[in-house]
Structure 1
């Protein structure tokens, strides 16, 4: 029986009730860990963004340009769709 998941997903029909319960518990725990990691990363991203905003605000208040030439170049590349693909390869 094909489950429509990936090849590592077990044949559910051949599993006992106890095996199913154990797998549910394992996957629930793994999902909880992933969720915690995601929330932690979002918190760090928020802190970093707030720091960047504060720095840009300070530069502007001191009469400096908030954006550099490199920022404009990168924005241009984004808008033209010329940025290379992300180097991050999601786990499988």
Structure 2
């Protein structure tokens, strides 16, 4: 069974399209409207994957804190309370994304498939008790951490691939602008949904 964040050939999800065969083919021949639409699609997918990654890291923080607490190395302040763990999770999910590794992207899009990514995180641990890490024995806790780490790594890998696709589209739009084929308005205009 494949991971819910792996692109599927012929799939209908945005991830399948952005990372699918042909998405970046013949960029110099595409109309600017199509380039902008594909750029917007790639940027939205990157936003969704970034959110999923942050969600997974928040859950991992809680599980790792439970592991630390059990080992007695809860950090400089000792064992963290439930309130401290919740505050840490809230900060993790509220923090703005870190620096981008792509071409100066500034994306204001909101995640569009929050539920899908939450379900993927829940499926990775296959146990509703993930919301109560204290109820897991040490082996189950370690297995949950390992599975969430693997999913977070897979999301990161897909996010990088999506960023590369977005970068290729931005580069083509930039090339056309530098060569005088597009105006500033052409570059900045956002696609309209029909």
Q: TM-score band, normalised by the shorter chain? A: 0.5 to 0.7
TM-score w.r.t. the length of structure 2 is 0.30
Give how far 1:67 is off: 2.7
Does residue 33 of the first structure (1) align with residue 154 of the second (2)? Answer: yes
Q: Which has the larger radius of gyration?
A: 1
Q: Which runs of 5+ in 2 are unaligned?
A: 1-81, 90-127, 190-194
Residues 55/65 of structure 1: CA separation in 2 closer, same or farther (3 Å cut): closer
Q: Which runs of 5+ in 1 are unaligned?
A: 75-92
Q: State the 4+ residue runs in structure 1 displaced beyond 3 angstroms.
A: none
CA deviation map 1:15-36 (0-9, x unaligned): 1111001100110011001101
Residues 65/10 of structure 1: CA separation in 2 closer, same or farther (3 Å cut): closer
* Equivalences for residues 47-58 of structure 1 within 5 A: 47-58=168-179
Does residue 12 of the first structure (1) align with residue 129 of the second (2)? Answer: no
Residues 31/71 of structure 1: CA separation in 2 closer, same or farther (3 Å cut): closer
Give how far 1:50 is off: 0.6
The residue matched to 2:131 in structure 1 has which SS?
coil
The Cα RMSD (Å) is 3.3
Partner residue of 1:66? 183
